[in-house]
């Protein structure tokens, strides 16, 4: 192929105005004219449109970056809140275990106190009934002794019994040391 038509120096000089019958040259001239008209009229609008599109894309990228940063910040906040919630849950669990242990210890202490009171009450009850039984036994023995003494007094003292009583009191009197 011969590309000599591309160089202006090789183009033949026109000899006047007329119809060019060379279709290839005419197409190139028409194409150049159309491109020049398109560039002159549409070029500014196209470059403005491309510039607007570029600004829109840059703004969208900046907004996306900002939203990503905000999302990352919210994620970090949520992670921090999760950690705080975990710590709070651990504290609540430990406090629950502590309170449950404390309540169990309180219940055990109250139970032991009640048992000791019951044991004390049992001892007092046993002691009361022992004293009552002893008192009844003493009353019975004393009443029996008194009834025998009355019987003897009513019968009168015989000589041997009179000597025994006197000897008893004399021996007690001799043992007395003031």
User: What is the percentage of the chain residues whose pLDDT exceeds 70?
Assistant: 87
Give 156's pLDDT tier (boundaries 50, 70, 90).
low
For residue 9, is it within any domain?
Answer: no
Distance CA 71, CA 76 (A): 8
Give mean pLDDT, residues 88-110.
Answer: 94
Where helices occur in the chain by DSSP H, the ranges are: 23-37, 43-155, 159-175
For residue 100, is it within any domain?
Answer: yes
Least confident of 9-23, 84-98, 120-134: 9-23
Distance CA 122, CA 130 (A): 12
Q: What is the pLDDT of residues 21-76, one digit of tens each?
A: 677 877 888 888 888 887 777 777 778 888 899 999 999 999 999 999 999 999 99
For residue 31, is it within any domain?
Answer: yes
Whole-number pLDDT of residue 4: 43
Instruction: Kindly tell me if the per-residue pLDDT of 80 is higher than 50.
Output: yes
pTM across the whole model? 0.41
For residue 15, is it within any domain?
Answer: no
For residue 13, is it within any domain?
Answer: no
- CA–CA–CA angle 116, 122, 108 (5° rounding): 20
For residue 89, is it within any domain?
Answer: yes
For residue 84, is it within any domain?
Answer: yes
Least confident of 30-34, 93-97, 116-120: 30-34
Distance CA 70, CA 79 (A): 14
Instruction: Kindly tell me if the per-residue pLDDT of 10 is higher than 60.
Output: no
- CA–CA–CA angle 80, 84, 85 (5° rounding): 115
Structural domain harbouring 41:
20-175
Judge contact between 61 and 41, C-beta under 8 A. no
Least confident of 87-91, 102-106, 137-141, 150-154: 150-154
Q: How many domains, the chain? A: 1
Judge contact between 25 and 5, C-beta under 8 A. yes
For residue 70, is it within any domain?
Answer: yes
């Amino acid at each position: 192929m011969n590309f000599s038509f591309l160089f202006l120096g090789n183009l033949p000089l026109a000899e006047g105005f007329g119809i060019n019958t060379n279709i290839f040259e005419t197409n190139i001239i028409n194409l150049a004219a159309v491109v020049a008209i398109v560039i002159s009229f549409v070029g500014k609008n196209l470059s403005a449109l491309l510039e607007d599109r570029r600004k829109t894309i840059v703004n969208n990228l900046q907004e996306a970056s900002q939203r990503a940063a905000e999302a990352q910040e919210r994620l970090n906040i949520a992670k921090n809140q999760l950690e705080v919630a975990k710590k709070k849950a651990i504290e609540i669990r430990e406090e629950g275990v502590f309170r449950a242990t404390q309540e169990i210890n309180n219940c055990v202490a109250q139970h032991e106190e009640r048992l000791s009171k019951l044991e004390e009450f049992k001892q007092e009850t046993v002691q009361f009934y022992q004293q009552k039984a002893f008192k009844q036994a003493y009353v019975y023995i004393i009443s029996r002794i008194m009834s025998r003494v009355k019987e003897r007094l009513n019968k009168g003292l015989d000589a041997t019994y009179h000597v025994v009583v006197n000897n008893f009191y004399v021996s007690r009197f001799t043992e007395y040391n003031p």
